[in-house]
Amino acid sequence: MSYNSLLTNRCTIERYTSVNTDGVVVKKWAELATNVHCLLQETSGRMLQQAGGQGLFVDADLYLKIGQDVKPRTTDDSKDRIIMTKPNTGAIFLVEVVVDSSGQVHHLQALLKRVPAE
């Protein structure tokens, strides 16, 4: 069984971007990628220890193909979000951390925080 065959879910990745409309800069979500093959594994929530002793709560792990453009939250609060489209639950998650957890350029693991639907 190949890794790609395990990516049975689909999602849309959106990026929080600045848009200049008639000289007024506003931040909004823009679609970055659609119908992305992935595997979502939700948890009941867990805390990860970050550098500096800060805790980070996450609600799910998302597995993606290596090379997928997805970015975690940064200090300027730009971030990506994931919207699940298969199954079509409408669940929305913010990307908190992205790692190559195998260390062998095999797959990406994104740690997600669930947010209320809009």
pTM: 0.83
Neighbours of 43 (CB within 10 A): 11
116 pLDDT exceeds 80?
A: yes
Question: What is d(CA 72, CA 78) in angstroms, rounded to the nearest whole number?
Answer: 8
75 pLDDT exceeds 80?
A: no
63-88: average pLDDT:
86
Is residue 79 within 8 Å of residue 70, measured between CB atoms? no
88-97: average pLDDT:
90
Quote the DSSP letter at residue 20. Answer: E
Helix (H, G, I), strand (E, B) or coil at 115: strand
Q: Which pLDDT score is estimated for 1?
A: 66
Number of domains in the chain: 1
At 2-51, the pLDDT tens digits run 777 889 999 999 998 888 888 898 888 999 999 999 999 988 767 666 55
**pLDDT tier at 95, thresholds 50, 70, 90:** very high
Q: Which residue segment(s) compose the domain that 77 sits in?
A: 3-115
Question: What is d(CA 19, CA 26) in angstroms, rounded to the nearest whole number?
Answer: 5
Query: Could you tell me the CATH number of the domain that includes residue 35?
Result: 2.40.10.270
